[in-house]
Amino acid sequence: MTADAIAVAKPKTDGRIAAIRGGVVDVAFDGPVPQIHDLLFAGTVALEVAALVGEGLVRAIAMAPVRGLGLGMAVRATGSPIMVPVGEAVLGRMLDVFGAPMDGRPSPQAVERRSIHQAPPQLSDRVLHAQILETGIKAIDLLSPIERGGKTGLFGGAGVGKTVLITELINNTVQHYKGVSLFCGIGERSREAEELYREIGDAGVRDKTVMLFGQMNEAPGVRFLVGNTALTMAEYFRDDLGQDVLLLIDNIFRFVQAGSEVSGLMGRMPSRVGYQPTLATELAALEERITSTSQAAITSIQAVYVPADDFTDPAAAHIFSHLSASVVLSRKRASEGLYPSVDPLASASVMLTPAVVGQRHYDIARAVRRTLSEYEELRDIIAMLGLEELSSADRATVARARRLERFLTQPFFTTESFSGMSGKLVPIADTLAGCEAILGQTRFDLPESAYYMIGALDDLKEAAP
């Protein structure tokens, strides 16, 4: 990204570097002082104004390593914030926080560039659709249905399958999704970016997808702002082109983490558990831009890393408050080989009401939760005394629960090369019919293993030994 590529809204002024502390640079100006969020350039290093410190002095966050910068070095003010290309020219591209290409192709030739800092829609402009986005993943569609125009969080610690689930959601929804999809990688590995770019190309949906990355090796300022870049592009598709947008973010916790790093560099006093004091407002500024309007909807699915599996962590707690559905991934279920490792008792959705999903779906979901909850209560008795000590009714409950647990597993398209099993996309109707059939039985002819890693219940005949 070069200074010449930035749209200039005001007369340029020059300053000088007054101090450098890590990724924070203080710049002194003799003339007019830049505004908050304005973009500066010290040589080829981009800086964003984060605070006005004093008379003629601003404090800026570096968007790249500060090697080569020195005291007294000239700084150029562009007179505008970071401006990124928007529109159909960015479809099929892999871009960075400035909208510059990362895929080795020429820069997108967009007719318009917009600031990455935009206000959320007014409350009067927002619309509630109360519609479900079908994913084809049994555990999610049954127990935690995703709201069109809402925000869904995939919660879990390290290694429980958040990124795999996000990738599968892309595969299942993008192919029959009528709008466009936008993937935003915040603080993730470059390996994952390369793999995802290749997989989306193999699936033939890259031309309807925009990919933005602020990778974990980049400066905290880049990781902190790449979410705003993604939302600016998504808002253009929603508001100007009237297209629905599926926004996938991996990982929203890295946004909070980058904000904490930026806050520390700025010298702010840490708040609870060492997080930045502005955690709630920074998160709200990003999340409130994700909504439905009369033109179209932005539906967001966000992976959320939970530090040390502690759901009372301030970052996880604040993210929870913005979500319409939460899918909790369980390390215990992952250790048992139950993938996707969705915790059926901890996951929830505001869409799971009779008025939205229908009375039958609601009743089946409640019955599944009740059966699995009763099984959890019986686990200790089984561990101490054995299954034989249970009453016949409790044994039937255990049999149903163990088969439901295995029926809610599913082979993924994106893991076929690892598992050797063909992926399955299961309609909601087949999921409901399968769970209803299992709940209605007290005796089973087939073993539990026959229900493991199948699609609809009709696949049982194939799985039977």
Q: How confident is the model at residue 193, as a pLDDT?
A: 81
Chain segment 231-269, per-residue pLDDT in tens: 999 999 999 999 989 999 988 999 999 999 999 988 889
CA–CA separation, 384 vs 393, rounded Å?
19
Q: Is the pLDDT of residue 371 over 50?
A: yes
Options 105, 189, 332, 379, the catalytic residue: 189
CA–CA separation, 281 vs 182, rounded Å?
24
CA–CA separation, 26 vs 113, rounded Å?
28
CA–CA separation, 345 vs 164, rounded Å?
21
Q: Which residues of 333-352 are buried (b: 16+ CB within 10 A; e: fewer)?
A: bbeeebbbbbbbeebbbebb
CA–CA separation, 12 vs 34, rounded Å?
9
Which distant-in-sequence residues (6+ apart) come within 8 Å of 82 by Cβ?
Answer: 6, 37, 39, 46, 48, 97, 98, 115, 116, 117, 225, 229
Q: How confident is the model at residue 27, as a pLDDT?
A: 96
Q: Is the pLDDT of residue 166 over 90?
A: no
> In percent, how much of the chain has pLDDT > 90?
60
**pTM assigned to the model:** 0.86
372 class by beta-carbon count within 10 Å (0-12 exposed, 13-18 middle, 19+ buried) = buried
DSSP-based three-state secondary structure for 364: helix
Chain segment 31-66, per-residue pLDDT in tens: 889 999 999 999 999 999 999 998 899 999 999 999
Q: How confident is the model at residue 465, as a pLDDT?
A: 57
Kindly write down the DSSP assignment for every residue of 424-438, as one continuous string. ----HHHHHHHHHHH
- 443 included as an active-site residue: no
CA–CA separation, 403 vs 391, rounded Å?
19
Q: Which of 12, 49, 56 is nearest to 33 (CA)?
A: 56
Q: Is the pLDDT of residue 440 over 60?
A: yes
Q: Is the pLDDT of residue 416 over 90?
A: no
Options 188, 218, 235, 261, the catalytic residue: 188
Q: Is the pLDDT of residue 11 over 80?
A: no
DSSP-based three-state secondary structure for 298: strand
Q: Which of 293, 418, 431, 421 is nearest to 364 (CA)?
A: 431
Ramachandran angles phi, psi of 81, nearest 5°:
-75, 180
First vs last C-alpha separation in the chain:
60
**HSE-CB for 245 with a 13 A CA cutoff:** 35
> In percent, how much of the chain has pLDDT > 70?
95
pLDDT band at 10 (very low <50, low <70, confident <90, very high): very low
Q: Which of 384, 439, 356, 429 is nearest to 129 (CA)?
A: 356
Radius of gyration of the chain (CA): 25
CA–CA separation, 241 vs 330, rounded Å?
39
DSSP-based three-state secondary structure for 271: coil
- 162 included as an active-site residue: yes
Q: How confident is the model at residue 171, as a pLDDT?
A: 79
245 class by beta-carbon count within 10 Å (0-12 exposed, 13-18 middle, 19+ buried) = buried
Q: Inter-axis angle of helices 252-265 and 279-287, to 10 degrees?
A: 140
Q: Mean pLDDT for the chain?
A: 89
Per DSSP, what are the bridge partners of residue 328?
155
Which distant-in-sequence residues (6+ apart) come within 8 Å of 210 by Cβ?
Answer: 90, 91, 92, 93, 95, 180, 181, 182, 183, 230, 233
CA–CA separation, 451 vs 287, rounded Å?
39
Q: How confident is the model at residue 4, as a pLDDT?
A: 46
Q: How confident is the model at residue 8, as a pLDDT?
A: 41
Chain segment 189-198, per-residue pLDDT in tens: 887 788 888 8
Q: Which of 274, 226, 263 is nearest to 22 (CA)?
A: 263
- 189 included as an active-site residue: yes
Alpha carbon 130 to chain centroid distance?
Answer: 21
Q: Is the pLDDT of residue 300 over 90?
A: yes
Amino acid, res. 438: I
Options 114, 162, 238, 333, the catalytic residue: 162
Eight-state DSSP code of residue 21: E
